[in-house]
Amino acid sequence: MSRSHSCSVLSAALVMACVSLMASAAQAQGVYRIVGPDGRVTFSDRAPTAAQAQPSAPPASPNAAHTDSALPYALRQSAERYPVMLYSSKDCEPCDEAREYLRGRGIPFGERTIETSADMTALKKLSGQDSLPFATIGSQHLKGFAADNWSQYLNAAGYPTQSKLPRGYQAAAARPLTTPAPAPATAAKDPAPQRPAVPQAPATPQPGTRTADNPAGLRF
């Protein structure tokens, strides 16, 4: 008789071992949060090794969204440790979908818009590409929008699956990725050089007019 691989015919001890293995397999299908020795946070579908034991949370990114002290404690902790930043542009339907997804789930996030060539250059330096939407969760990069994919990373970062935002919560307004350079001051125009006056020829005196050469005003 062939040996069955079903857990239902194994002994109690083997059943417990089988259940443990199944639980481990199910956990392996999730997304794990891994913090490297340099403090960089990454997410993986593979469980971290002992050498990858998670240290304290890394500092927030310079582009991190501002977190409100009015947020519930657990949500505020996730937002401070793994801030969410969305990069978008006008007339970008996937960007709109990503924004609505984050709002619908109650994720406090910041938003940077790509409007100028300087913004695009900064985006390429940050993400290595020029496509949108682009998002960061801590230092994890999300390129393009897919609700299932984003959900896994948000879950791994500790964000709630349903909105816990307080009533009346107002997110910060979106602003450009880079600060526009001030317009150069217009140089004052030099006044037009004045043309030298053309010397006028002395007027010919009328007959009978007294002059230094003809004090009597005699007519010739």
User: Does the pLDDT of residue 105 top 70, yes or no?
Assistant: yes
In angstroms, the CA 137 to CA 142 distance is 8
Predicted confidence band of residue 63 (pLDDT cuts 50, 70, 90): very low
* Contacts of 57 by beta carbon, 8 Å cutoff, 6+ apart: 35, 80, 81, 82
| Domains of the chain and CATH, by start | 60-176 (3.40.30.10)
User: Does the pLDDT of residue 16 top 90, yes or no?
Assistant: no
0.85 exceeded by pTM: no
Distances (CA, A) of 72 to 111, 153, 171: 21, 20, 15
Length of the chain: 220
Burial class (CB in 10 A: 0-12, 13-18, 19+), 176: middle
In angstroms, the CA 67 to CA 203 distance is 88
Residue range 115-128: mean pLDDT, rounded: 94
Collapse the DSSP code of 73 into the 3-class scheme (helix H, G, I; strand E, B; otherwise coil) and give the result: helix
Predicted confidence band of residue 61 (pLDDT cuts 50, 70, 90): very low
Percent over 90 (pLDDT), the chain: 45
In terms of pLDDT, which residue wins out, 170 or 186?
170
Contact present, 146 and 157 (Cβ < 8 Å): no
In terms of pLDDT, which residue wins out, 11 or 140?
140
User: Does the pLDDT of residue 215 top 90, yes or no?
Assistant: no
User: Does the pLDDT of residue 188 top 60, yes or no?
Assistant: no
Residue range 64-79: mean pLDDT, rounded: 79
Q: Which helix (H) or strand (E) holds 183?
A: none
Q: For residue 178, what pLDDT is reported?
A: 94
User: Does the pLDDT of residue 166 top 80, yes or no?
Assistant: yes
Longest dimension (CA), the chain: 158
